[in-house]
Amino acid sequence: MLYAGFMSAAPPSAPTPQEPVESPQLLQLGLDDEPCLRADAARNRARLLEAAAGLVAARGADAVTMEEVAAAAGVGKGTVFRRFGDRTGLLMALLDHSEKKLQAAFLSGPPPLGPGAPPAERLRAFGRAALRRTVEDLELQLAAEADPGRRFTLPPYRVRHHHVALLLRQAVPDADCDVLAHTLLAQLDPALIHHLMHQCGMPPQRLEDAWTDLVDRITGTTA
């Protein structure tokens, strides 16, 4: 899985403002594939994820429980827990593919999302890409929301926070970029996006425009 080995790792130390935006350390945080599994373990994992994806397609994300997935895959519930730890781990594994594509794009893809563009321009592109990804997988994203004690320590969030904080250090080096990165990422929260789209009737384009406006105000730049 995309986040293997990072779950229990200590948070990376804060880089200096002069550190390159794409440091080798950051590349190691989110793009290392899961260590090689034995053939039978790999087959079990693939079968469990296929069963979970089938449940989502047929009955929605609420149907993805450890018990339901075990029954659909024809294995014991303990096998699911050993493979994924808990329901959040299972749901994150389902989201792994699209998260891996997003991380690859902002770490090493073409600009403006990837390296080579000014930091403020990259921040604008990152938010737009993350918003589109959340809109596409919104039901599953909501179901995968961790409890408040874990949500800021899960690997996908930590990789995003590290990336945004690095860009902010390039754009506004005098700011408290670690805290400011959390503030920016709050605008990408799936629960907030669901509320704004489905309860307030806002189109996704308005959310993307709001992200761009926020980045422009923070960095003192314009698109």
The dihedral region occupied by 147, where left means phi > 0, alpha psi between -120 and 50, and beta the remainder, is beta
| Total count of domains within the chain | 1
Provide CB contacts within 8 A for 80, sequence distance 6+: 48, 66, 69, 70, 73, 90
Residue 14: inside a domain = no
Whichever domain contains 105, its CATH number is: 1.10.357.10
Residue 19: inside a domain = no
Residue 96: inside a domain = yes
Domain ranges, residue 154: 24-219
H/E segment holding residue 28: helix 24-30
Q: pLDDT tens digits for 55-91?
A: 888 888 887 889 999 999 888 889 889 888 888 888 8
Q: Is the pTM of this model over 0.85?
A: no
| Mean pLDDT calculated for residue range 130-137 | 94
Provide CB contacts within 8 A for 134, sequence distance 6+: 141, 188, 190, 193
Residue 133: inside a domain = yes
Q: pLDDT tens digits for 5-56?
A: 333 333 344 333 333 444 434 443 444 445 555 777 778 888 888 888 888 8
Residue 5: inside a domain = no
Residue 3: inside a domain = no
Instruction: Give the rounded percent of residues in the chain with a pLDDT score beyond 90.
Output: 47
Residue 18: inside a domain = no
Which residue would you say has higher pLDDT here, 210 or 90?
A: 210
Residue 1: inside a domain = no
pLDDT computed for residue 188 by the predictor? 96
